[in-house]
Amino acid sequence: TAMRARGAKSTDIVILVVAADDGVMPQTEEAIQHAKAAQVPLIVAVNKIDKEGADPERVKNELSAKEVIPEEWGGDTQFVPVSAHTGDGVNELLDAVLLQAEVLELTAARDVPAQGIVIESRLDKGRGPV
């Protein structure tokens, strides 16, 4: 979708969240293509590792078939197992982002006003603009 394309073009690092119990879905493949087109590095957050039937190795195999190769297999993509439910792996995911930012030599000006990009918005009847 256009939203995923705008998101990939407006960021320095893409965190691709893939459910360990579902694996690679069509929207996952689309997000990978947008990240590659924008030449933005990926970090894969393998989510739901706490769920019954979670299979992080399956996710690695499926993404490898899409040319997203884990570092431990000789590729250049960090895979981080996480659980949004329990919070497990969140600190490791943050460390992965910091490491990738260091590799890319990303810097930020700390003494200027922050800027942001709205990727998607809509008007909600109860809450107004969101």
Q: What is the pLDDT of residues 50-109, one digit of tens each?
A: 999 999 999 999 999 999 999 999 999 999 999 999 999 999 999 999 999 999 999 888
Higher pLDDT, 118 or 96: 96
pTM of the full predicted structure? 0.84
3-class SS at 44? Answer: strand
Domain that holds residue 50: 2-129
**CA pair distance 13, 7, nearest whole angstrom:** 10
Give the CATH number of the domain where residue 93 resides: 3.40.50.300
| Count: domains in the chain | 1
Average pLDDT over residues 109-116: 88
pLDDT per residue as tens digits for the range 14-47: 999 999 999 999 999 999 999 999 999 999 999 9
If you compute the radius of gyration of the chain from its CA atoms, what whole number of angstroms results? 16
